[in-house]
């Protein structure tokens, strides 16, 4: 087998379980491997670290798939890994109606995403190595999940970095791409063709449900509401009223549709606005809301944007804290993995200090169990959902 040797001192992160080898960490490549080949990764002294898919075009030059010498990536291994991922969801999720079946590196299938929305499955292959097994992936998904339809969402920009074309469409027979599914006992509209990512954000499912016992009889603001997931769960939890704010008119249209499907249309006020402006106009008039949910899009797309992102997170949390009365609840989220849990806590702490308010941390939550967090791979812990009481 061809091998990639790391430069002196550059092996520690990979040895601790991280599945990415950056191009800048590589000292030598032996055996003339081709892009997509499976290669061994060794440290500067030749000690085996793992093996994975090579792509010299990508900054992620090797995506490690196993830590066992001599293993070859073949159809059998891919099928075994997908099967194990599905068994993991069946073991730990009470309901697998809507869930992520495969979460890339965290399921030892680097670059592969498989999402299940009822009886429809969406597949993404975001790396060259795993994309070579497309037919195996589709066949395994059909055998395990028996979906009525499969949709390819390989329109992600990251594929350009891998030298792969963007594309999307039906895998096999066509079917309606916009439909409803059940989540937390609610009816939710999913659009696998035009929706964000693979069609719907299933990673917040458990966090949305955790809102319910906190909102009974309360007035709730759902900021960055998107298609209304937190708003619906607030209503299901007995909220007195919900105001849902988002800058996207298209997202709000779907949120209104979701509210109508669940009988909440007359109890949720939808507002199309820039959330920063909305909060800024209200932070000097506390008491309008008892619970505020902040679930913004990723502010930090990369390390270079982290400083600006921290300012953005601080601003929205500062204004939300000012708006809440004593005993009010703040549910604040970040889906930027560059915004680490420690840094996110620090940002909220700074916001509370500037607002001259005290906070109690009630819960620190992450993404759902169908998005497992792999120890040694911090990027797999990307979603933070912290719940505070303002005192």
Q: Are 139 and 123 in contact (CB under 8 A)?
A: no
Dihedral sign, Cα of residue 182, residue 183, residue 189, residue 193: negative
Task: Say which residues have a Cβ less than 8 Å from residue 15's Cβ, sequence separation at least 6.
Answer: 43, 49
Q: How far apart are CA 377 and CA 104, in angstroms?
A: 11
CA 383 to chain centre: 6
CB 123 within 8 A of CB 152: yes
Q: Is residue 335 annotated as part of the catalytic site, yes or no?
A: yes
Residue 389 has phi, psi (to 5 degrees) of -105, 130
What backbone phi and psi angles, to 5 degrees, belong to 309?
A: -65, -40
Rounded distance between C-alpha atoms, residue 127 and residue 105, angstroms: 11
Q: One of 225, 333, 335, 385 is an active-site residue; which one?
A: 335
Beta carbons within 8 Å of 65's beta carbon, 6+ residues apart: 19, 38, 50, 51, 52, 53, 73, 77, 108, 109, 110, 129
The 3-class secondary structure across 34-84, one letter per residue, is CCCCEEEEECCCCCEEEEEEECCCCCEEEEEEECCCCCCCCHHHHHHHHHH
Pinpoint the alpha helices (H) of the chain: 12-15, 75-92, 128-131, 134-145, 158-161, 205-210, 229-236, 249-261, 275-280, 306-323, 341-355
In degrees and rounded to multiples of 5, residue 268 shows phi and psi of: -120, 125
CB 144 within 8 A of CB 83: yes
Residues whose CB is less than 8 angstroms from the CB of residue 129 and which lie 6 or more positions away in sequence, other chains included: 36, 38, 52, 53, 54, 55, 63, 65, 73, 110, 111
Query: Residue 105 in 3-state DSSP?
Result: helix
Residues designated catalytic: 335
């Amino acid at each position: 087998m061809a091998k990639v040797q790391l430069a002196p001192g550059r092996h520690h992160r990979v040895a601790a379980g991280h599945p990415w080898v950056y191009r800048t960490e590589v000292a030598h490549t032996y055996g003339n491997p081709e892009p997509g080949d499976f290669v061994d990764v060794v440290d500067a002294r030749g000690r085996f670290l793992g093996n994975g898919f090579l792509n010299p075009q990508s900054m992620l030059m090797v995506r490690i798939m196993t830590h066992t010498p001599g293993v070859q990536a073949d159809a059998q291994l891919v099928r075994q890994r997908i099967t194990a991922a599905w068994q993991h969801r069946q073991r730990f999720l009470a309901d697998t109606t809507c869930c992520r079946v495969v979460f890339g590196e965290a399921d030892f299938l680097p670059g592969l995403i498989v999402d299940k929305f009822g009886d429809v499955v969406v597949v993404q292959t975001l790396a060259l190595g795993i994309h070579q097994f497309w037919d195996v992936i589709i066949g395994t998904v059909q055998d395990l999940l028996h979906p009525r339809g499969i949709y390819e969402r390989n329109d992600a920009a990251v594929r350009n970095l891998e030298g792969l074309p963007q594309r999307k469409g039906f895998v096999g027979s066509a079917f309606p791409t916009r439909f409803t599914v059940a989540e937390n006992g609610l009816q939710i509209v999913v659009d696998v063709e035009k929706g964000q990512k693979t069609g719907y954000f299933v990673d917040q499912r458990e966090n949305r449900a955790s809102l319910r016992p906190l909102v009974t009889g309360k007035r709730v603001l759902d900021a960055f509401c998107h298609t209304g997931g937190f708003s619906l769960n607030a209503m299901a939890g007995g909220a007195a009223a919900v105001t849902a704010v988002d800058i996207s008119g298209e997202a709000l249209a779907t949120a209104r549709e979701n509210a109508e499907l669940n009988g909440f249309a007359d109890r949720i006020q939808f507002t199309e606005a820039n959330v920063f402006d909305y909060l800024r106009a209200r932070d000097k008039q506390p008491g309008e809301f008892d619970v505020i949910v902040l679930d913004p899009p990723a502010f930090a797309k990369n390390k270079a944007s982290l400083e600006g992102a921290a300012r953005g997170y601080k601003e929205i949390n500062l204004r939300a804290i000012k708006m809440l009365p004593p005993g009010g609840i703040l549910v604040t989220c970040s889906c930027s993995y560059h915004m680490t849990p420690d840094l996110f806590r620090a940002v909220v702490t700074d916001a509370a200090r500037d607002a001259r308010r005290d906070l109690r941390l009630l819960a620190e939550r992450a993404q759902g169990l169908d998005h497992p967090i792999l120890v040694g791979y911090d990027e797999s812990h990307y979603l933070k959902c912290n719940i505070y009481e303002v005192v």
